[in-house]
Amino acid sequence: MKKLISVIAPMYNEGELVNAYLDSCMKAMDSISDRYRYEIVMVNDGSNDNTYELMKKAQSEHPDLISTVCLTRNFGLEGAVFAGLSKARGDAVVSMDADLQDPPEVILKLIEKWENGADVVNAVRVKRESDTFFKKTTAAMYYDILRSISGKVKMDKDAANFRLLSRKAVDTVLSLSESNKVFRVAVPFVGMKTETVEYERDKRYAGSTKYHLRNMVPYALDSITGVSVAPLYISFWAVVFFLAGFLATFISFIAAHDEWKVGLFCVSMGFLCFAVMSVVIAVISIYLAQTLTEAKGRPVSLIYEYDPARTEEDA
């Protein structure tokens, strides 16, 4: 039997895009229908326009190709993506934005990498000409921060939600017990063999973005705090800074002329007080980091494959 490819398309108030997206995606997938079966999992993220009605109409026309998921309200992009992941039945699952900035034709390249053994294939944007200077700058800062604190978790720069996951990768991501999961953090966390495909991001086909600054800031904070507890340890650098300031000013106090002694003594005591407070905050941060790690419930390690020894008793 042909392998099944699932394509997840989360949508929120995208009535102008439903048919255009389906036409483009189905055209790309039809080109490989001699080798693969496919389903398009359309997720309605609490839209208040005619998005869901158009989804259902398309499903009635292509009941063997289109699945629909309707959320009870608007849960945001992450909620829609994970809802789609939980219902996708494919041997490989592709998540992508449905505004046609991610060209469906790139899916064919992702599948090729998957067939060559990759469990995760990230689509990496090499050009973002449709984005504003502000968006490009803040995105670069976001990815740089993520990569700098991610430790052993490998984060690909400019890899967003457009990626392919093998069935094993999907099941592993869904098995993570934390409720506030960020897709572009959860996928690198599970690891597995990962490849990349570069592509140029197109302009939005129609409508306007539903992802504004008020959405991006909480998302960035969720990603940064989700990938690592490193930000909690910043207080240790404060301890070093204030202790160094105390030592420098106290030594200056000892060597200074009398008219400078009172001022330098006050400054050194100020540094000492801040150093003591920073130590207290640093200790609290350690316990907060441990609490956060336990609350997330992420496994210490993930086994990709286990092949036990064959003993005589097994024969």
Measure the CA–CA gap between 100 and 205, rounded to whole angstroms. 6
User: Which one is predicted more confidently, 314 or 180?
Assistant: 180
In this prediction, residue 118 carries a pLDDT of 94
Q: Which are the contacts of 250, defined by CB distance < 8 A and separation ≥ 6?
A: 264, 268
pLDDT range class, residue 58, cuts 50, 70, 90? very high
Is pLDDT at 211 greater than 80 in this prediction? no
In this prediction, residue 209 carries a pLDDT of 64
Per residue in 89-109, pLDDT (tens digit) is 999 999 998 888 889 999 999
pLDDT range class, residue 213, cuts 50, 70, 90? low
Proportion of the chain above pLDDT 70, given as a percent: 93
Taken in order 60, 65, 71, 75, the sign of the CA dihedral is: negative
What is the DSSP pairing of strand 36-44 with strand 3-11?
parallel
Closest CA to 103 of 30, 205, 194: 205
> What are the φ and ψ backbone dihedral angles of 92, each rounded to 5 degrees?
-135, 145
Closest CA to 161 of 230, 77, 222: 77
Mean per-residue pLDDT, 225-230 = 74
In this prediction, residue 171 carries a pLDDT of 94
The CATH architecture of the domain made up of 3-227 is: Alpha-Beta Complex (3.90)
Closest CA to 197 of 101, 120, 128, 131: 120
**Range from 132-136, 239-243, 302-306 carrying the lowest mean pLDDT:** 132-136
Q: Is 151 left (phi over 0), alpha (psi -120 to 50) or beta?
A: left
Q: Are 177 and 100 in contact (CB under 8 A)?
A: no
Mean per-residue pLDDT, 226-247 = 83
What value does the mean pLDDT of the chain take?
85
Strand-pairing partners, residue 92, are 5, 166
In this prediction, residue 106 carries a pLDDT of 93
Measure the CA–CA gap between 25 and 5, rounded to whole angstroms. 12
Q: Taking the CA atoms of the chain, what radius of gyration do you get in angstroms?
A: 25
> What DSSP character marks residue 305?
-
| pTM of the full structure | 0.78
The interaxial angle of helices 183-190 and 213-227, nearest 10 deg, is 20
Q: Are 121 and 47 in contact (CB under 8 A)?
A: no
Provide the residue ranges of all domains of the chain, joining segments of one domain with +: 3-227, 230-296
Mean per-residue pLDDT, 101-125 = 92
